[in-house]
Amino acid sequence: MIECIVNEVPFPAYETFEDRQNLPRRDFLYFDKIYKAGRHNKELWSAAVTRKKGKNDIPFGTPVFEAHLRTTIQENYFPWICQALANPKVIQDLNVGADFKTEYDYDELPEKLACNCPIISDLPLSSEYRYNTTTKAFETISIQRTPEVQITLLRLAERERLQSLIDENKVERLATLTKLRAMVDKIRPDYIKYNREQKNKFNLAVKKNFRRFLDPDDKENDDDDSGGQRQGE
């Protein structure tokens, strides 16, 4: 998230991490950044990607773990954004919530995205990544050894699929982001002055407003969804 802000790249829409076969470059970004961070085992990750140059049967993790991680991202996508933007110690370079851009904010996606930004993605622009429907596996293809028209069509298809997924969910997501940014603008100026109780109240409000899958048995004893009062109010 910080890398996207620093490099002026829109934050990826979470739906785009789900279509693995049609969005292989985005899928690479997911595994290289999010999955690796959630796995918390650098030794096993290193063994999986380096032993026999990655051509081995060492799994990154179990299907259950991956399903859990994907669900966690989906339900906490907006709460994590809100909590990060509201805290000046986490996101320092932000004047108002509207300065933070996601892929939902664009009618047409900009050229530079997180999955093709060299500073963010470790998949070099000299290669592409695709799903081979014959071998049923992902493969890396070299631009130098592949006809330019094939590379162009591959990139165009991926961008069109990205745009389609985002457009399908844009109206609902932008409504959520409008509400989220308003909360950020209210809380951020005084957040560093908050005591533990105020921070807990804010986190409960964030969960109540933006978490996608609330536990029906989770009792919220605070009906105020404003995120807590500012000190002195």
- What pLDDT is recorded for position 213? 57
Q: What is the pLDDT along the chain (233 residues), one digit of tens a residue?
A: 889 988 999 999 999 988 888 898 898 888 888 877 666 566 766 776 677 776 777 666 677 877 888 888 888 999 999 999 999 999 988 899 999 999 999 999 999 999 989 888 888 888 787 888 888 888 888 887 888 888 888 889 999 999 999 999 999 999 999 999 999 999 999 999 999 999 999 999 999 999 875 444 544 444 445 555 444 44
> Phi and psi dihedrals of 53, rounded to 5?
55, 35
Task: Give the span between the Cα atoms of 38 and 33, in whole angstroms.
Answer: 9
